[in-house]
Structure 1
Amino acid sequence: MAKSTRATQALEKSGVAFTVHAYDYDPEAQRTGLQAAEALGEAPGRVLKTLMALVDGKAVCAVVPSDREVSMKRLAAAFGGKGAQMMKPPDAERITGYKIGGISPFGQMRKVAIAMDESALAHDYVFINGGQRGLQVKLRPQDALKVLGASAAALVA
């Protein structure tokens, strides 16, 4: 497994402190974020999943705890829209340049608006996908917000 991805390169370029953590990715897992949390021995609320969605037809990225479901109503509101829906996997892969299960908010091919669930800010550190299946980066949630130019919002139901 490559330890250097577009995501880790974007983080290195930003100068924020982060560490890279590999784990055995299970392609059969129903919920890959929860599987990552278990494999890393971390609380699911500390391991964040990256979701690609459409708000009023515009691509956006939501970073939320792996054990929670995103609220479409809250997601739309966070981006100033009326309606939201999950993006189809092929579209998410094309826009981000990453494969499903390995989508990172860092180093995406196309720049999209990003929001992180505000609950992440309660943790000293969080894990976020590092740009490939079985790879997570550990960093301070405030640093992730800064690097991503993201906003913090209530995104989960």
Structure 2
Amino acid sequence: MKDIDEIRRDNLRHIEQECGGPSATAELVGMSPGQFVNLRDGAKDSKTGKARGMRKETARRIEVAAGKPKGWLDVDHLGALKTDSTSLKATGIEEKYLSLSKEKQSVIDYFLLSDGEPAPEWVDRDARAYADSLKLKARGWLERGQTSSDIKKNRA
């Protein structure tokens, strides 16, 4: 299981991909390219030899700069999607997710949050109620044994 620093580094790589590279991301988050790369890669501390972690304050600052909801860096977004890398590549889920707008990714991220994880700032009582309603509808649909091919039949 990944620790919080590994999760944050993975998510930082996602932000880097969105920004177009380490230099652009470093500028966005107010760091030198060297500082950013060391943070992203978990550079080893010269005294302890252990990978350096990302402080909570740094994570929140990066989230604000990147336009992500509070706590976004702390959630294993792709790990929650992956059952195994073969199925992920076969279905193209990762590519589809990464091609979505930040708003749509935020909605998906909210649905993937584990119980006890902090909800993003945009999630108010109405959003929670709507999300709960969608989950109940999906559960009922799945319990009735419907599949994605049934959606196509219903549209026709």
Compare the two structures and name the one with the higher helix fraction.
2
TM-score, normalising length from structure 2?
0.27
Larger radius of gyration between Structure 1 and Structure 2: 2
Compare the two structures and name the one with the higher strand fraction.
1
Bigger RCO (CA 8 Å, 6+ sep): 1
